[in-house]
């Protein structure tokens, strides 16, 4: 009974915290972009414009929730929930600190990969159900991009799995007691980061949306809270990928003891979130085929090579 | 301009005495009347076999002559309509103007769209505006006005004011009819819906689209993401600037020109006023020339900065546009201090500029000259040297020099084909011959090279501004000519003649002597030209505005075939057009 109560409590806290963080990230991104782009950003509602998040949420809730008459209604409604749900599910296995996690699955890493793959359904179904040519193009781009980058997202993590000998994320964190995996798996880290950006389709990998080309790509037709779901899903995705980078390559909650483990974890994650925003502020967007070429012809061979070398070294040393 | 005077003799020797009639024009451009039946032959000869071939169809327009004061007409022919062809020869650096007289209510003439590719849109425009038919044109349909429009706006019987028409109403059936007319039917454009192995998708890009920089509609025929063909649909920004010219006085038309290339500001005033001043025979003082050049170059930088930032943004780079608009703001601060307004200063006047430079203008200009180079270098690293930016632009949207001339490309787009042609150098106006600057060029004619040329042009403009700053001559800011409008105020208090002129010029507007004149300036986007016809009245009889963006946009389908949707945005961005400059 107690156990179940603990789960439920953890889930409720987690849901509340994560959606709050994701919403707050919208403010953070807009302020940071503004800072880097010599402008103010939202600064009117509340201190430092923090309440813009509340204003935005209220606006999204009260906007007309419009479903285009030409859309496939059921799928159109389901699509945005998938991305938010899939990302939230991934958080089940993320160890924020010792004891602060929902479930310490022994296939944690695989669970994360599986869940994050589900996100692509959201894009494909949303784009298809909208029955809009821009959305369709965005969905096609999104599907091929995410499937391609999924491949080496998994591969880039396998080196870490070999070194730690476990798919359980707590084990992976604890295996980094002496040194972080970013030092033994630098290539894996870079590849995972790239794949992670592609997975969240943020600039420079935002070709499914590609504002100047496809208006808003797969979610052109969405408004109100359905758009809000895509929006929250994107920021949850950023948080998730940052959290996973920290967990797998930067020692998770580990750190000098003058700060509690949870704070260490939050700090490290925050740095990567900022990196995401900085990337958006600085890079242009490659063309769709260039992105595919880059993925299959450059990153995939490197990922395989990395795996091969890691395997050989692991075999020799243990 | 009149370097090639053997041309008439050459044409007479080929086509015979009776085929041609010469007319003198105020601007000294060789002007020849050609018989309607001969025009295609003469144009073909001029393009292909002439001693100095005229490679570019610079402009094609028409004049409704029916209301013209007959006593003032040229005396040669008294037509109902005149078709005017402006050709340009790069070899001999000269224009030639051919005119064809047409008679009847809705006359027709042979099309030359086979001879010059860019004649296609020009002929459609003349048809749209005058109802003159071009026989043999592949798709003669309206281009600027809605398909449902009744009448042809530039005909003299068409009203120019809303008060001359019935109140506008949009009842349901009319709205349905208008929307029906906007439906794209591929068959009308000779486009297939299927290929042998695929169905094409027709993607309607615009008129509201973040990547088109305005109300431009492009219908793309797509095979997957590859562009099979494209059909630009323009006219959404058409505001009848040419018609307004026939309604406003010579003086009150100046603010309308500001809004043609709305990023070019006073540079539009200059193009218009150069033509007016030719007609009026005004020679402006040196100080006016230098002030004008300085302001024009400021606007060139401002316009290029907008292009630079939005180009990067089209390719997904979000930040540069903010930095560049900040710098543009600095330019506008200077423009505002001098002119009192920012984007549309309306500051040049017939025979001068509105006011003298304000005290302390030199400090403002100096601080900009000190500040800007550092920023330009930073932008170069940020945008031009970015490898993703290069991957998106190098080798995309290529055209050769021959193609560029065939399609009427001018400005940076032409110079990117390794052709150092700049009207500021080749046919200097407003004292550009006194300035020391280079013509930047690039080799390949792709999107990246067009960007290279524009970036380098900003450096050159900065050089020119610095020379203006260091060598600003003293003297009056208005010419002492009776047609200067408004005249120098202090003289009006001294003699009655100037007082009367002042009164008449300000109330009725100046009466510009009959004649016709064309100006041609190197505007921000290419060659901008005003061809004015005066019948000795307080307003122009006909104002023809030749804008660079119009032929550039016409070329879009040709250079974007085979590329992808993403590349289309690179091509559009590198083209640097504004919609008002296309539609007028």
Strands B226-233 and B217-223 come out as antiparallel
Q: Do B210 and A206 touch (CB under 8 A)?
A: no
Q: Is B204 on the interface with A (CB under 8 A)?
A: yes
| B6-156 against B241-480+553-583: fold identical | no
Residues 244-303 of A with CB under 8 A from B: 280-290
Inter-residue long-range contacts of A264-273, CB under 8 Å, 24+ positions, other chains counted? A265/A96, A265/A97, A266/A96, A269/A239, A269/A242, A269/A243, A270/A242, A272/A241, A272/A242, A272/A245, A272/A246, A273/A25, A273/A28, A273/A238, A273/A239, A273/A242
Those residues with Cβ within 8 angstroms of residue B512's Cβ, 6 or more apart along the chain or in another chain: B250, B276, B279, B280, B483, B534, B536, B537, B540
Two tokens, residue A72? 């496939």
Between B204, B389, B565, which is nearest A284 by CB? B389
Indicate the SS3 state at residue B379: helix
Distance from CA of B565 to the nearest CA of A (A): 7
Contact A33, A40 (CB under 8 A): no
Considering only CB atoms, which chain A residues are within 8 Å of B560? none
Query: What is the DSSP code (8-state) at residue B93?
Result: T
Low-confidence ranges of chain B (pLDDT < 70): 1-5, 69-77
Between B209, B388, B565, which is nearest A284 by CB? B388
CA distance B458 to B297: 9
As a 3-state breakdown, chain A gives helix, strand, coil percent values, each rounded to 5, of 75, 0, 25
Two tokens, residue B209? 């689209």
Q: Which domain holds residue A124?
A: 66-317
Q: Is B326 on the interface with A (CB under 8 A)?
A: yes
Q: Is B162 on the interface with A (CB under 8 A)?
A: no
Distance from CA of A233 to the nearest CA of B (A): 21
Two tokens, residue B543? 């104002």
Distance of alpha carbon B97 from its chain centroid, rounded?
17
Two tokens, residue B332? 């506008």
Nearest residue on chain B to A205, judged by CA atoms? B316
Q: Is B225 on the interface with A (CB under 8 A)?
A: yes
Q: Do B318 and A133 touch (CB under 8 A)?
A: no
pLDDT, tens digit (0-9, with 9 covering 90-100), for A290-306: 888 888 888 889 988 98
Residue from A34, A213, A294 to probe the interface with B (highest B Cβ count within 10 Å): A213
Considering only CB atoms, which chain A residues are within 8 Å of B322? 37-39
Contact A106, A167 (CB under 8 A): yes
Considering only CB atoms, which chain A residues are within 8 Å of B210? 211-212, 215
CA distance B417 to B526: 14
Distance from CA of B315 to the nearest CA of A (A): 6
Two tokens, residue B344? 């549309």
pLDDT, tens digit (0-9, with 9 covering 90-100), for B295-316: 999 999 999 999 999 999 888 8
Give the number of residues written for chain B. Answer: 584
Is residue A1 very low, low, confident or very high in pLDDT (cuts 50, 70, 90)?
Answer: low
Those residues with Cβ within 8 angstroms of residue B97's Cβ, 6 or more apart along the chain or in another chain: B25, B29, B30, B31, B32, B84, B85, B86, B87, B518
In the numeric block, the tokens 């940076």 are attached to B412
pLDDT, tens digit (0-9, with 9 covering 90-100), for A234-258: 888 889 999 999 988 888 888 787 8
Residues 353-392 of B with CB under 8 A from A: 386, 388-389, 391-392
In the numeric block, the tokens 């022994």 are attached to A106
The reply to whether A21 falls in a domain is: no
pLDDT of residue B132: 92
Contact A217, A135 (CB under 8 A): yes
Listed residue (B338, B294, B244) closest to B539, CA to CA: B244
Listed residue (B39, B161, B60) closest to B554, CA to CA: B60
Distance from CA of A199 to the nearest CA of B (A): 18
Considering only CB atoms, which chain B residues are within 8 Å of A38? 322-323, 326
The reply to whether A145 falls in a domain is: yes
pLDDT, tens digit (0-9, with 9 covering 90-100), for B122-152: 999 999 999 999 988 888 889 999 888 888 9
> What is the side-by-side order of every strand in the sheet holding B94-102?
B20-23, B30-34, B94-102, B81-89, B56-64
CA distance B463 to B306: 20
Listed residue (B77, B87, B79) closest to B112, CA to CA: B87
Query: What is the DSSP code (8-state) at residue B237?
Result: T
Listed residue (B129, B84, B134) closest to B109, CA to CA: B134
CA distance A55 to A60: 9
pLDDT of residue A24: 86
For A143-147, what is the mean pLDDT?
Answer: 84
pLDDT of residue B73: 47
Residue, of A203 and A192, whose pLDDT is higher: A192
Q: Cα(first)–Cα(last) distance of chain A, in Å?
A: 43
Distance from CA of B412 to the nearest CA of A (A): 23
CA angle A207, A211, A215 (to 5 degrees): 110
pLDDT of residue A318: 67
Domain-wise residue ranges, chain B: 6-156, 241-480+553-583
Inter-residue long-range contacts of A207-210, CB under 8 Å, 24+ positions, other chains counted? A207/A141, A207/A142, A207/A145, A207/A285, A207/A286, A207/A287, A207/A288, A207/A291, A207/B566, A208/A123, A208/A127, A208/A138, A208/A139, A208/A141, A208/A142, A208/A145, A209/A138, A210/A138, A210/A141, A210/A285, A210/B316, A210/B566
Q: Is B562 on the interface with A (CB under 8 A)?
A: no
Nearest residue on chain B to A138, judged by CA atoms? B225
Q: Is A171 on the interface with B (CB under 8 A)?
A: no
Domain count, chain A: 1
CA distance B349 to B484: 8
Contact A96, A262 (CB under 8 A): yes
CA distance B133 to B150: 16
Characterise B559 by phi-psi region: left (phi > 0), alpha (psi -120 to 50), beta (else): alpha
Q: Do B388 and A134 touch (CB under 8 A)?
A: no
Nearest residue on chain B to A204, judged by CA atoms? B316
Contact A199, A146 (CB under 8 A): yes
Between A38, A281, A288, which is nearest B566 by CB? A288
CA distance B190 to B141: 13
Between B317, B322, B565, which is nearest A284 by CB? B317
Nearest residue on chain A to B210, judged by CA atoms? A212
Instruction: Calculate the average pLDDT of chain A.
Output: 85
Domain B6-156 has CATH 3.40.50.300: no
CA distance B575 to B529: 19
Q: Do B203 and A215 touch (CB under 8 A)?
A: no
Considering only CB atoms, which chain A residues are within 8 Å of B566? 207, 210, 213, 287-288
Contact B566, B396 (CB under 8 A): no
Distance from CA of A236 to the nearest CA of B (A): 22
Inter-residue long-range contacts of B419-425, CB under 8 Å, 24+ positions, other chains counted? B421/B90, B422/B522, B423/B520, B423/B521, B423/B522, B423/B527, B424/B521, B424/B522
Say whether pLDDT at A51 is over 70: yes
Q: Do A284 and B567 touch (CB under 8 A)?
A: no
Q: Is B566 on the interface with A (CB under 8 A)?
A: yes
Q: Do B319 and A36 touch (CB under 8 A)?
A: yes
Q: Do B565 and A280 touch (CB under 8 A)?
A: no
Considering only CB atoms, which chain A residues are within 8 Å of B314? 212
Two tokens, residue B426? 């080749």
Q: Do B391 and A38 touch (CB under 8 A)?
A: no
Residue from A134, A277, A278, A284 to probe the interface with B (highest B Cβ count within 10 Å): A284
Contact A55, A207 (CB under 8 A): no
Task: Please state, for a pLDDT cut of 70, what percent of chain A lies above it.
Answer: 99
Rounded to the nearest 5°, which phi and psi values hold at B448?
-65, -40
Indicate the SS3 state at residue A61: helix
Between A39, A214, A286, which is nearest B392 by CB? A286
Q: Do B318 and A37 touch (CB under 8 A)?
A: yes
Helix (H), strand (E) at residue B271 = helix B266-280
pLDDT of residue B69: 66
Two tokens, residue A231? 């929006």
Residues 118-137 of A with CB under 8 A from B: 133-134, 137
Nearest residue on chain A to B209, judged by CA atoms? A215
Rounded to two decimals, the pTM is 0.88
Q: Is A37 on the interface with B (CB under 8 A)?
A: yes
The reply to whether A10 falls in a domain is: no
Distance from CA of B215 to the nearest CA of A (A): 14
The reply to whether A16 falls in a domain is: no
pLDDT of residue B72: 45
pLDDT of residue B200: 87
- The sign of the CA dihedral A303, A308, A312, A314 is positive
Query: What is the DSSP code (8-state) at residue B31?
Result: E
| B167 burial via Cβ count (<10 Å: 0-12, 13-18, 19+) | exposed
Q: Do B319 and A37 touch (CB under 8 A)?
A: yes
Two tokens, residue B572? 């559009």
- State how far the alpha carbon of B364 is from the alpha carbons of A87, A254, B160, B185, B343, in Å: 54, 56, 42, 55, 18
Domain B241-480+553-583 has CATH 1.10.645.10: yes
Residue from B212, B318, B562 to probe the interface with A (highest A Cβ count within 10 Å): B318
């Amino acid at each position: 009974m107690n156990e179940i109560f603990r789960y439920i409590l953890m889930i409720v806290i987690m849901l509340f915290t994560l959606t709050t963080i994701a919403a707050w990230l919208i403010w953070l991104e807009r302020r940071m972009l503004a800072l880097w782009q010599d402008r103010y950003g939202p600064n009117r509602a509340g201190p430092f414009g923090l309440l813009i998040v509340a204003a935005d949420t209220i606006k999204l809730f009260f906007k007309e929730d419009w479903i285009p008459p030409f859309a496939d209604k059921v799928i159109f409604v389901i699509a945005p929930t998938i991305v938010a749900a899939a990302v939230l599910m991934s958080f089940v296995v993320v160890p924020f600190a010792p004891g602060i996690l929902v479930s310490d699955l022994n296939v944690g890493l695989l669970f994360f990969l599986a869940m994050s793959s589900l996100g692509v359904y959201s894009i494909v179904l949303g784009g298809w159900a909208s029955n809009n040519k821009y959305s369709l193009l965005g969905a096609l781009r999104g599907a091929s991009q995410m499937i391609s980058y999924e491949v080496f997202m998994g591969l880039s993590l396998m080196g870490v799995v070999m070194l730690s000998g476990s798919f359980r994320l707590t084990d992976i964190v604890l295996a980094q007691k002496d040194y972080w995996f970013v030092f033994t798996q630098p290539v894996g880290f870079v590849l995972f980061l790239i794949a992670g950006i592609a997975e969240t389709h943020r600039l420079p990998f935002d070709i499914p949306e590609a504002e100047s080309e496809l208006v808003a790509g797969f979610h052109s037709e969405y408004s109100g809270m359905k758009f809000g779901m895509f929006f929250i899903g994107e920021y949850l995705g950023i948080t998730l990928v940052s959290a996973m980078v920290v967990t797998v390559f930067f020692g998770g909650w580990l750190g000098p003891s003058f700060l509690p483990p949870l704070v260490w974890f939050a700090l490290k994650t925050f740095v990567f979130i900022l990196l995401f925003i900085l990337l958006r502020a600085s890079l242009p967007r490659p063309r769709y085929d260039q992105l595919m070429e880059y993925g299959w012809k450059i990153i995939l061979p490197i990922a395989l090579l990395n795996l091969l070398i890691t395997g050989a070294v692991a075999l020799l040393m243990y | 301009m009149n370097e090639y005077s053997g041309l008439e003799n050459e044409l007479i020797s080929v086509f015979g005495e009776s085929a041609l009639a010469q007319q003198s024009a105020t601007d000294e451009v060789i002007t020849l009347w050609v018989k309607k039946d001969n025009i295609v032959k003469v144009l073909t000869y001029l393009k292909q076999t002439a001693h100095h071939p005229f490679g570019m169809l610079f402009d094609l327009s028409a004049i409704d002559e029916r209301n013209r004061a007959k006593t003032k007409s040229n005396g040669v022919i008294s037509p109902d309509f005149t078709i005017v062809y402006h050709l340009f020869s790069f070899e001999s650096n000269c224009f030639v103007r051919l005119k064809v007289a047409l008679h009847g209510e809705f006359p027709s003439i042979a099309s030359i769209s086979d001879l010059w590719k860019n004649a296609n849109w020009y002929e459609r425009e003349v048809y749209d505006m005058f109802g003159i038919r071009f026989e043999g044109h592949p798709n003669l349909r309206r281009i600027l006005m809605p398909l449902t429009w009744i009448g042809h706006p530039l005909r003299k019987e068409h009203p120019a004011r809303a008060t001359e028409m019935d109140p506008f109403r949009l009842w349901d059936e009319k709205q349905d009819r208008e929307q029906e007319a906007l439906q794209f039917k591929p068959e009308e454009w000779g486009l297939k819906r299927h290929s042998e192995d695929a169905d094409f998708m027709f993607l309607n890009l615009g008129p509201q689209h973040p990547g088109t920089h305005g109300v431009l509609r492009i219908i793309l025929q797509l095979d997957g993401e590859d562009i099979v063909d494209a059909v630009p649909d323009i006219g959404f920004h058409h505001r009848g600037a040419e018609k307004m010219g026939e309604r406003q006085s010579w003086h009150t038309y100046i603010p309308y020109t500001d809004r043609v290339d709305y990023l070019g500001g006073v540079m539009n005033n200059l193009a218009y006023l150069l033509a007016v001043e030719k007609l009026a025979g005004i020679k402006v003082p040196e100080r006016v020339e230098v002030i004008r050049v300085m302001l024009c170059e400021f606007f060139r930088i401002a316009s290029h900065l907008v292009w630079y930032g939005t180009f990067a943004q089209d390719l997904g780079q979000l930040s540069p546009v903010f930095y560049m608009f900040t710098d543009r703001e600095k330019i506008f601060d200077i423009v505002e201090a001098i002119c009192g307004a920012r984007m549309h200063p309306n500051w040049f006047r017939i025979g001068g500029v509105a006011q003298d430079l304000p005290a302390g203008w030199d400090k403002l200009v100096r601080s900009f000259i000190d500040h800007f180079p550092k920023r330009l270098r930073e932008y170069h690293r940020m945008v031009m040297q970015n490898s993703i930016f290069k991957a998106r632009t190098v080798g995309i949207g290529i055209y050769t020099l021959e193609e560029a001339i065939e399609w009427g490309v001018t400005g940076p787009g032409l110079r990117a084909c390794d052709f150092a042609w700049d009207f500021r150098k080749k046919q200097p106006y407003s004292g550009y011959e006194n300035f020391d600057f280079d013509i930047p060029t690039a080799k390949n004619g792709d999107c990246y090279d067009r960007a290279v040329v524009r970036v380098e042009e900003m450096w050159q403009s900065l050089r020119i501004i610095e020379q203006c700053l260091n060598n600003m001559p003293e003297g009056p800011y208005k010419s002492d000519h009776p047609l200067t409008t408004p005249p120098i105020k202090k003289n009006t208090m001294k003699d009655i003649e100037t007082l009367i002129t002042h009164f008449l010029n300000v109330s009725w507007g100046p009466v510009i002597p009959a004649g016709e004149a064309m100006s041609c300036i190197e505007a921000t986007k290419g060659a901008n030209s005003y061809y004015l016809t005066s019948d000795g009245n307080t307003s122009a009889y006909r104002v023809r505005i030749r804008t660079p963006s119009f032929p550039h946009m016409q070329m879009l389908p040709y250079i974007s075939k085979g590329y992808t949707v993403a590349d289309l945005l690179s091509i559009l961005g590198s083209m640097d057009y504004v919609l008002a400059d296309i539609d007028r």
